[in-house]
Amino acid sequence: MKTYEEMARDVLARIEEYENERKKHKKAVIRLTAAAVPLCAAAVAGVVLWKGGALSPEPGQLMNNTPGGDIVTETVTAAEETSSPAAATKAVTASAQTVTEATAQETSSPAEEKTEAVTEAAEQQETSGAAAQTAPQTEAAATVPVTVQPAQTAATAASNTASAETQAAAPGGGGNDVMLRPGDTPSEFRTLISSYPYGVAGDMRAPYNGEVCLMPSVQYAMEEYGDSADYLVMLEIWADNGSRYVNGYSELRAEAERLYSCGCIAAGVNTDSSGENWITLHVTYSQLKNISGRDDYGYGIMFPNSGSADYIVPPVINNGIAQ
């Protein structure tokens, strides 16, 4: 049998061994925790982003899916011979590839040159009128793209903002830009309503000056979704009490800029392959309800996906007052 000294020595040795083991274990746990915590945090952040809808398609991407909705693919070309009105034409392309190329070219072009060319092209477009718009697309000697893509991610939103500033510096510049104010972020987490399953048959009159008319489909969508969603709508503009359909690009562009300055989330001018222009607006419920029109224009607001059969019909909401 052990003496008490021997047993005490053994006991103390075992206690020390236990303490050392415990320290080692503690260190291992700390090391493991340090490695696991960032991974867990990243996983949680990923889940939060995914659940929050940050990884779902954005409003800008939805806009591209609208009929004739290659809103952002317009390229203004400036011909070598600027004296001829026909030399300046507006080339409308529908492929995303062109957008990419155009954007790349835009990046490489000096800003002054771009501004000059845009102004020039716009002036020529003014003088050439409708003929120039319907003229066949000509081979452009030099293309100066001024297209800005709609915001697709937070990063591109920032670059769009910068582009919008450049546009503002060149008034009258062409292009169907989606405009964002400095500091604006696209409402990427909100539902965007761009169609509503409601059709209207029958003759409808064009809006008179000062009227802002909502298509029934838009009205029903607003009733159903209210302020819980944003709306992607297209505007048709009429002048002279509904007798003249406003289709000129520059006129629509100016109106889009005015509407944008009134507070819309985004505004743009669309052009389809047949040369038809219209304004597209990305607005909130209250912005849509309170769109302030010009006194010399009448406005028809509808969903881009409604089809051509949908047309403007009373009851009319004009700045919130039903007529």
Partner 1 sequence: MDNGASSYRRYRDNGDENGIVEIIRDYKDGLILYLTSIVGNIRTAEELAEDTFVLLGTKKPADKGKGSFRTWLYTIGRNIAVDYLRKHRRHPELPLGEQAELVSEEDSAETLYLKKEQKIILHKAMRKLPADYQQVLWLTYFEDMSNKDAAQVMGRSVRSVESLLYRAKKSLRSQLETEGFEYENL
Where along the sequence are the contacts to partner 1 (CB under 8 A)?
A: 1-2, 4, 7-8, 10-12, 14-15, 18-19
Measured CA to CA in angstroms, residue 181 lies from 73, 108, 115, 176, 265 at distances of 21, 24, 19, 16, 9
Q: Which is nearer to partner 1, 4 or 127 (CB)?
A: 4
Q: Which is nearer to partner 1, 15 or 42 (CB)?
A: 15
Separation of alpha carbons 297 and 131, rounded Å: 23
CB neighbours (10 Å) of residue 205?
16
Smallest separation, CB 58 to partner 1 (Å): 59
Q: List the structure tokens of 221.
A: 């969508």
Q: Which is nearer to partner 1, 10 or 224 (CB)?
A: 10
Residue that is written with structure tokens 């607006």 in the block: 281
Q: Which is nearer to partner 1, 11 or 42 (CB)?
A: 11
CB of 173 closer than 8 Å to CB of 265 = no
Separation of alpha carbons 149 and 98, rounded Å: 11
Q: Which is nearer to partner 1, 12 or 96 (CB)?
A: 12
Residue that is written with structure tokens 């990427």 in the block: 188
Smallest separation, CB 21 to partner 1 (Å): 10
Task: Give the H/E segment covering residue 29.
Answer: helix 4-52
